[in-house]
Chain A
Amino acid sequence: MMQSGIAAPASLFRSTVAEFLKFYAFRIPQIAYVSIVAFLVLFVFQLFLAERLLAHLGPATVNEVIPYLFYASWKSILFHVFIIAFSAYCVAVDSQYGMIRIGCTQPVSRAQYLLGKSIAIELHVALFALVYVASIFIWVCICTEFRGLSFPGLLALSSLAVRTVVFCVGLSGCMIGVSILRKTLLDAFVSCCVLFVGFGLLLTLPPEFHLRPVLFLRYFLYPIAGILPKGWPIQFPMKDAPFWQFLLVSMVTPTVCLIPAFVRFHFRDISE
């Protein structure tokens, strides 16, 4: 599938924009933004009202409290399940309803069609992650009455946001790769869940296994490390790994999932 050098980026841009705005037409992002804020309310009630976290911590600053709310909501993996479901849905919906026939007869190559879709989904996931971190920040600010808000504190918050976005986009990329190989929504969602569980099972590899630093889910709590206060009682694996290592693993893992999916999609017959 040859294209001129100028036409190819333009086609990719068009494909990305069309896919990105299409998901807004689905109203999924709008509902997700509201849902993320609402979902955090549950943890806010639990931590600040039921467990009286601030009474235990004393006069804690915003940045000292954020890790508690982030940790409580993050480890519930509800947000991750949403990302998995969103990625699987957005890819497999085309095959499920036959829209893949329409998409593949538009003037873009199959690679551009898939790449545009993947970028659009990951942009949405990045926005979800930012909304998630922003919601945590706002809730904590409200509960702590903006105590100790400072510029270094905001920098640490930015670090948390960037790491969260990188992790979520990486996770989404893996799920997109798996979903491209499936033809129905149910198949895609089940396959994504199996992959996620598979990633989790890799964590049980023995310590002698020297590839442990490249296991994506070992970085599950890496985002929080950028904002952890001193004396945090729990130790996380890979907490002190350099950011480039985390970034590399978060990029390579989805790439490994995406490349075979792209190759297969390029050569396969669109029969659905």
Chain B
Amino acid sequence: MENELALLNNYLVVGAMLFGIGVIGFVSRRNMIIIFLAAEMMLQGVSLSLVAWARYHNDFGGQMFVVFIITVAACEAALALALILMLFRASGSLDIALWQHLREANQPAYVDEEIPELEVKSPTWPRLVPAGRQPELDRSDTEHRPSV
């Protein structure tokens, strides 16, 4: 019994930590996919503590609950992917701060402080000495398709 209580404690602490990390990620990140992942992490924390409680009480209700939580989370993930995809098509960015047109009439928009532009340098790779037979490439394999 002592052992079981210690085990329960440990799992509850880990579950609460996962939940807390999820909350922090949810409120501090701006990438829509990462926000969603943070919410998923909160759900995992809940699931972990439910399973720990189920073991402690020797009751299967908690595990059943977790199965349903996982399913609902999958449904939400599918919807989130679809939603994010549509928003990305509309705005071309995953930044959630772009979606702030609905607000109180006289409230100013939230504007970023100056963020230095990240220098993106496309790397130049050396050409290798050709050897062997030239592979036959389909044009569609090498071309960059801009349609997303």
Binding between chains A and B: no
A residues contacting B by CB (< 8 A) are none
B residues contacting A by CB (< 8 A) are none
